[in-house]
Amino acid sequence: MKEELLNFISENNLSPFNKQRTPVKNGSESIFKTRDGKSVHNRVLIKISNNFVFPDTGNLLNFFSFTESLEEIKQRQVFFNELKKSINFDNSFLNFLLPLKQTWKPKYDVLVVTENSQTFMRLKEAGCPVRLLISESDISLLESYDLIQIINCDEFSRALESLPQAVFLKSVEEVYLERHLEKLSSWKANLEILRKGPISEELNELVQELSSLLDLTSESESEEITRDSVELAVDKINERVSDRLKDMMVSGDSLIAMISKQILPPPIKSIVQEEVRKSNIPLEVLNLGIPVSIDEPELEKFLQRKNSSEYFDSAQKIKNNSFRIKEIPRKLQELSDFLILFDFLSGTSKFVKDKTNFPLLSEELLIKNSKNIFLDHPRDISFELNDVYRCSILTGANSGGKTTLLEHVLQLVSLAQLGFPISGEAKIPLFTDVYYFAKNKGSESKGAFETLLTQMSKIKPGAKTLILADEIESVTEPGVAGEIIAATAEFFLKQNCFLIVATHLGYEIQKNLPILTRIDGIEAKGLDEGFNLIVDHNPVLGRLAHSTPELIVEKLANSEKTDYFIFLNSHLKNNKK
């Protein structure tokens, strides 16, 4: 599956250096048919993606698209199971990778010339410094360049051969190989970081190979000889010679010879030569006298020879490694792709490491001692629907956990589709259509009830359909809401759907309870010392739970201590007595 993931990375141009996540289309239609259901599924993806360093790594979750194939999901489970057992790398060091920034360019000026217009356009698109030769007069403009690379030039080849810095190339792929080294230099700091990090074998192989090519961009550490450095050295030579001659006795004959014949006496000549040697300036570019001076023609020749030799050596070194250098773009792309894959494998291994089992694909819905991944300190939750009971009317107190249970079921469906393991145990039908109608937040229009009914009318009912509804009575009159919920459950149960309906209308629905339907309860038992509800979030199957609004009032009376809440709390307690 790693090869398929790498292909997905390449096809979608995912990169570890994209600051924003690249838009990627999911390859299949979502099984979540409502906005609320898709929202919960996205939260699952975000929860997993929190373990990744690169924004684009989260896109790999789209590779695991929705499927109706049991075999496909089982293959995913095998993949993540092997990942859980084998991957121990920590991807956190990837946070230290730096944005790519070119750090090297050749010291010499390179120009590529050609007579062929198609070759010219191709090289220009590749980012090469190229010029199209139209007439022989164009050649006179090339003398100022340090290196001339020539490709596809038949007509002007004889004239170009006269240029000492000209290099003839046979293949377009060999042109301006320096551009690949320029690109490689932008990875220099990151290659060093990767060499020190706990990386995979594939990554390590790429890093070592590319790092060795960086040697071609390293500059010589020998001191560079320029006109400025020679002038500075001559001044220092004359200062040191002058200091040493102050205490030296010179005979009259030597003095006369030095003035008239411009011949240095052997002792003085020895001092001058010794000081010149200390400066590392070549003797041939200096006039050895008092004072020492620069031989301008010889210095000009020396610098020209030196630069030509240096540029030729550098260019020759690059040419000798052309086969390896031409591989740099492909190797860098491989490195980029493998970094995304490494981040994904390391990040998902963190997510799955404390997950104990893979969901079993079954005809029943069973949750046993499962923990909700959305909660910081989740409790074990158990719940089930099967052939005996395909619908749960979930009752209980406000803030008791009814909504959390619905979203818990949705996240397990989502993880089962992805092929991920979970905490606890679960049996999940391979649902093809999941409808979640979340609790109304009060922002709906006056036609909310009609809208809800219209949405429900579009449900595709069947044995692979799951319907979750959270307090749908809030969009209509309480008196008739219980009847509508009971009738709705009966309609979809006749078409073999699974349903979980969270509601405060347990008493009303109980009077008209459809077949295959069970009333379950999440009940509050009181208030703790901090006036928080004491709730066993595990639903009790087959028990109607009280919504206990009096506990909410008691909580507010003790925490807010306003006259209104105190009066309301007292009134409810007296009536209860």
The domain limits of the chain are 110-185, 229-281, 355-546
| Dist. CA 358–CA 81, nearest whole Å | 9
**Residue that the structure tokens 């028990």 belong to:** 543
**Residue that the structure tokens 């070592």 belong to:** 208
| Dist. CA 355–CA 351, nearest whole Å | 8
| Dist. CA 453–CA 469, nearest whole Å | 12
| Dist. CA 289–CA 236, nearest whole Å | 14
**Which stretches of the chain drop beneath a pLDDT of 50?**
221-222, 443
| Dist. CA 176–CA 110, nearest whole Å | 8
| Dist. CA 39–CA 436, nearest whole Å | 10
Does residue 533 sit in helix, strand or coil? strand
Q: Give 376-418 pLDDT, tens digit per residue.
A: 989 999 999 999 999 999 998 777 789 999 999 999 999 999 9
Q: Residue 533 pairs with which residues in a beta bridge? A: 527
| Dist. CA 482–CA 508, nearest whole Å | 5
pTM of the model as a whole? 0.79
CATH class, domain 110-185, is alpha beta
Q: Residue 360 pairs with which residues in a beta bridge? A: 427
Omega within 30 of 0 (cis) for the link into 291: yes
Do the domains 355-546 and 110-185 match in fold? Answer: yes
Three-state helix/strand/coil letters over 415-471: HHHHCCCECCEEEECCCCEEEEECCCCCCCCCCHHHHHHHHHHCCCCCCCEEEEEEC
Does residue 166 sit in helix, strand or coil? strand
Could you give the C-alpha distances from 123 to 119, 126, 154, 176, 261, in angstroms and in order? 6, 5, 18, 9, 62
- Looking at residue 262, its pLDDT comes to 61
Angle between helices 563-576 and 549-560 (to 10 degrees): 140
Fold of 355-546: Rossmann fold (3.40.50)
Angle between helices 2-11 and 328-352 (to 10 degrees): 120
**Are 343 and 54 in contact, with CB atoms under 8 Å apart?**
yes
**Residue that the structure tokens 């030196």 belong to:** 306
- Looking at residue 443, its pLDDT comes to 47
| Dist. CA 522–CA 510, nearest whole Å | 16
- Looking at residue 45, its pLDDT comes to 96
